[in-house]
Amino acid sequence: MSPTDSSSNERDLQTSATYRALANSLPLSVLIKSNDGRRVFANEAYLKWRNLCWEDVAGKLDSDLFDEEIARKYTEDDRRVLESGQAQHAVEQASVADGSIGWIERVKSPIYDANGKLLGIQVLFWDVTARVQAENKSRFEQSLLNTLLENIPDSIYFKDLQSRFIRVSRAMAEKFGYHDPQEIIAKSDADIFTLEHAEQARKDELEVIETGVPLVDRVERETWPERDDTWCMTTKMPLVDEDGDTIGTFGISRDITALKRSEAALKEAVRMADAANRAKSEFLANMSHEIRTPMNALVGMADLLAQTDLSEVQSEYVDTIRRSSDSLLRLLNDILDFSKIEARKLELEAVPFSLGYEIQAAISTLRYQGAKKNLELRLDYEEGLPHYFVGDPGRIRQILINLIGNAVKFTDRGGVTVVVKRLPPAQTDQTPVDQTHPEEVAALEQSGANANVANESDSEPENESDITDGGKTRLLVSIVDTGIGISPEQQASVLAPFTQADASMTRRFGGTGLGLSISRQLVELMGGTLQLRSELGVGTTFFFDLELSVADHSDMERNDDDLEEDLGGEEFVATQPLRVLVAEDGVTNQHVIAGLLRSLGHECSIASDGRETLSKWRNETYDVILMDMHMPVMDGLEATVEIRQQEMGTDHHIPIIALTAAAMAEDARLCREAGMDDYLTKPIRRRKLHRALEVIHPIGAATAAVSSSASAGSGAIFTSSKTVDNQSGITVEGSARFARSLESADRLVLGNKHAGCLDLDSARSRIPGGVSGVLRLAAVFKEECQSLLDLLETDISSGDNDSARRNAHTLKGACGLLGAKQLQAAAGEIEEAGREGRLSNPDEAGPLLQSLQTEANRVLAAVDELLQ
């Protein structure tokens, strides 16, 4: 191109007034370059963008305005457009007037004249910085969403208004059984779940769409066509667009199937634990009943035997029976107490009592055991302390007997001292006793090192205000022994239940390890703390603190209900003889209770079940009813309710005293609710029976009927000539005559054929009266056993589980007295089957009855041989 032609082209471009006006009106930047790259036109938007005037850019090349790298890039772009003749479009970074870097979108295109001659390049560009930034932000957010949906273990979904999936997380796709989340798009819950679950999900989503209210943390059970059910916790929310219109739903759910299974397992474990606790309570109640029933005969007969003329050797035998029965009762009470404390059902009394008396009573109880080991048991009661307090004397004595008994058990020389001292009022920080008075505890240990040395403290008692605080006194009670001691490593566990310091001690000294644990818990129930200090080979000190209210002397009456019975002690004679109706189904217990009543100067009549009790009560006159809780036909509770109903509207109210081998609080409550006036637990003590009857005010008609034979020594067990047991048909006269005919018997022998049926040696050691007592009981047992067998056959034939259970229970108890162990076991199996309702099934009941009859025939044959 010649200079003349170039100059002509430039003039053509510059003189285009129309083009110039149009370009300046555009919001875009317009730049025109000639073929050699020189700027020949720039609109006002371009100049403003660059913050320049036309003179600054006119005729300039890219290299004149930009750095080398950018200039080279612009020049290369221009060359490609000129050579190709095609427009070029791009978005690129560019510097703006303020020096910052922004983004522009530009179009470079060739310019031709009317003849098609290439004149140069037109550059159009505009600022797209905001758009690019928005796009970058959107891409970043999309990246975050994709990362979330690809990696989160929870299920996330988005649905349209028809509940079709439009986006899901990978975890949800895999949960549904798909590898690619895109495979679920446009599907609905009906394509995945059962129809029932899909309909409920659709219903929930429609509610969210219509109300706009999210459904948060809903626990759902997911049901699948060909899979096990699963559980999830889901949140469903409305999906709203930029205009605020609801366009669907979205949500997130977490699989909680494992959690639900764990919860179900935990609930089952809790249910089983509750069942185990109930079974334990039932076991304790049943154990109490089973043990106390034979204990009633053991204690009662020993009590009666103690009232007769005995030789020195016989008195020792009776004393042995007493001590053995007391030990067994203490063991039983320990287990029951532990169960009550564990169930938080043990309540403490608040009655006036003498602390010194309770301690002396506890020492007296254990003095015999101490004397056998030449131990001195004594009390060191600080001078100036009050003697009378308000609290639970029975539980305090129980604590003392446990601790003193434990000290005596593990002490072979020296002695045991009970020390009672005052403590200052309790501190707010509840400082433990041994830290509050370390010097006192040390002094106690020193005194324990030589229990025979009297306390030499001659300090004057302080004022009452120093002893009491608001009518209360804090006491430190210590039991100091000179025994074998406890090693430091064993001291931490010695107060735990069923624990002894050394397992080998259980074999040497005996015991369940419950006494100390119960004592600790009782002390804690009273607000104190039981602790110990011990040194091997030197001795042990158990000590606890109590805060007790001081009792007024005028309110103080000695309560010795819990004193140990002395079977050879004082006689109790009825101030007014009573006529007593005894409702008891066990023949052995009938003998015991009737004998106790006779020794107290009362007359009695026997009823063997609740229905017979009602009949006798209606037709005869009595002062009081001793009512066994558990009897056949009608139990004692039902009979009591019936009596109370018939008494309504009259002035009559016969006292009813419950008799039961159970010892749980529930039984006492049932007795009260039925309308009983008092409650005696087997084994029945003569002293407590006397006191229960002391409050009865006899009515004239019954009292007048008392026979003078009530206190005669005729040898008859009952003072009345009425039938003892309507089931067995045994009469009192027959029993008495038979008893007298056997007084000369001196040995018990069975032939080889029946040698294993009865445990006669054990029976003779248990039953009062020796050989004669066994033979008397054998005659009673024979009649009762045959009667019960007939009743059981009828019960089982008719499928009467309840009646069979009661009769089998009575037979089982009777078998135990004579040592008929196989028959006892057979009766026990029927009792259990009756309790579980299995006797209605002939396939189960038949073999059980057959086994019972076979064993009964063997035992009855052995009894016949014995009586011959």
Return the closest-CA partner of residue 320 out of 568, 544, 600, 650.
568
Mean pLDDT of 276-286: 69
Q: What CATH number corresponds to the domain at position 200? A: 3.30.450.20
Return the closest-CA partner of residue 325 out of 333, 337, 335, 313.
333
| DSSP per-residue codes, 327-391 | HHHHHHHHHHHHHHHHTT------EEEEHHHHHHHHHHHHHHHHHHTT-EEEEEE-TT--SEEEE
In a domain, 266, yes or no: no
Same domain, 417 and 523: yes
By the 8 A CB rule, do 612 and 639 touch?
Answer: no
Same domain, 361 and 341: no
pLDDT by residue (tens digit) across 423-479?
887 654 444 444 444 544 444 344 443 333 333 333 333 443 344 444 788 999 999
Q: Which residues pair with 624 in a beta bridge?
A: 580
In a domain, 95, yes or no: yes
Same domain, 721 and 749: no
Reported confidence tier of residue 504, pLDDT bands at 50, 70, 90: very low
Cβ neighbours around 454 below 10 Å, total = 11
- Of 203, 223, 255, the one marking the end of a domain is 255
Residue 541 exposure: Cα atoms within 13 Å on the Cβ side: 25
SS3 labels along 223-291: CCCCCCCEEEEEEEEEEECCCCCEEEEEEEEEECHHHHHHHHHHHHHHHHHHHHHHHHHHHHHHHHHHH
Positive or negative, the CA dihedral 385, 386, 387, 388 is negative
Same domain, 9 and 98: yes
Q: What CATH number corresponds to the domain at position 637? A: 3.40.50.2300
Same domain, 17 and 94: yes
Same domain, 21 and 96: yes
Mean pLDDT of 117-144: 89
Positive or negative, the CA dihedral 455, 460, 464, 465 is negative
Same domain, 180 and 204: yes
Same domain, 774 and 749: yes
Q: What is the DSSP letter of 731?
A: B
The vertex-23 CA angle with 21 and 29, nearest 5°, equals 150
State how many domains the chain has: 5
Mean pLDDT estimate for the chain: 77
Return the closest-CA partner of residue 837 out of 814, 863, 804.
804
Reported confidence tier of residue 864, pLDDT bands at 50, 70, 90: confident
The amino acid present at 525, given as its one-letter code, is: L
Residues 6+ apart with CB under 8 A from 178: 184
Chain center to CA of 226: 40
Q: What CATH number corresponds to the domain at position 531? A: 3.30.565.10
Same domain, 202 and 65: no
Same domain, 394 and 515: yes
Cβ neighbours around 414 below 10 Å, total = 20
The vertex-56 CA angle with 54 and 60, nearest 5°, equals 100
pLDDT by residue (tens digit) across 131-178?
888 888 988 988 888 898 889 999 999 999 999 999 999 999 999 999
The size of the chain, in residues, is 868
Check residue 589 and give its pLDDT: 78
In a domain, 140, yes or no: no
Reported confidence tier of residue 291, pLDDT bands at 50, 70, 90: confident
Is cis: bond before 424, omega within 30 of 0? no
Matching residue, tokens 């004594």: 378
- Of 226, 255, 284, the one marking the end of a domain is 255
Same domain, 406 and 513: yes
- Of 669, 697, 725, the one marking the end of a domain is 725
By the 8 A CB rule, do 748 and 770 touch?
Answer: no
Q: Which residues pair with 255 in a beta bridge?
A: 232
In a domain, 680, yes or no: yes
Matching residue, tokens 């005010």: 697
In a domain, 263, yes or no: no
Whether the model clears a pTM of 0.85, i.e. scores above it, the answer is no
Does the pLDDT at position 339 exceed 90? no
pLDDT by residue (tens digit) across 851-863?
898 889 988 988 8
In Å, how far are 169, 206, 386 from 250, measured between CA atoms?
A: 12, 12, 78
In a domain, 144, yes or no: no
Q: What is the DSSP letter of 459?
A: P
Reported confidence tier of residue 741, pLDDT bands at 50, 70, 90: very low
Rounded Cα distance between 417 and 296, Å, is: 35
Mean pLDDT of 647-665: 79
By the 8 A CB rule, do 770 and 318 touch?
Answer: no
Domain residues for the domain of 487 are 351-455+466-555
In a domain, 262, yes or no: no
Rounded Cα distance between 572 and 575, Å, is: 9
Check residue 556 and give its pLDDT: 52
Same domain, 365 and 340: no
Does the pLDDT at position 403 exceed 60? yes
E strand or H helix that includes residue 123: strand 118-127
In a domain, 56, yes or no: yes
